Amino acid sequence: MKIDKTTIKKISHLARLEFDENSAEKMSQDMSQILDWVEQLNEVETENVEPLTTMSSEVNDMREDIKGVHLDHEAGLKNAPKRDADYFRVPKVLE
């Protein structure tokens, strides 16, 4: 698949990238090669191939969930330096 300079300009505008003419030509060639390679993947026979969920052969060692005692609301706020009724008071971080 051939990518022309118009498409490169549109992609660069959307991605907020800047290219000069030489770089745009090189990028056009590189992207065309990438898309040609991806098109080759369509030719691979995948009829009886199970999809992968992970590339690792390791198995997660899971533990049993154990129900425990939860910290109640008042105990959680007991050591708060500042509180506002039922909430922690913290300094403003966004302006």
Q: What is the pLDDT of residues 12-67, one digit of tens each?
A: 899 998 888 888 888 889 999 999 999 998 888 888 888 887 788 888 888 999 99
Residue 21, in any domain of the structure: yes
pLDDT at 1 over 80: no
Question: pLDDT tens across 66-91, in order?
Answer: 999 988 888 888 888 898 888 889 88
Whole-angstrom distance, CA of residue 92 vs CA of residue 14: 34
Residue 25, in any domain of the structure: yes
The confidence score (pLDDT) of residue 34 equals: 92
Q: What total of structural domains would you count in the chain?
A: 1
pTM for the structure as a whole = 0.47
Domain that holds residue 11: 5-41
Residue 67, in any domain of the structure: no
Distances (CA, A) of 69 to 24, 62, 66, 72, 73: 62, 21, 10, 9, 13
Whole-angstrom distance, CA of residue 61 vs CA of residue 58: 9
Q: What is the CATH number of the domain that holds 22?
A: 1.10.20
Q: Which amino acid is at 8?
A: I
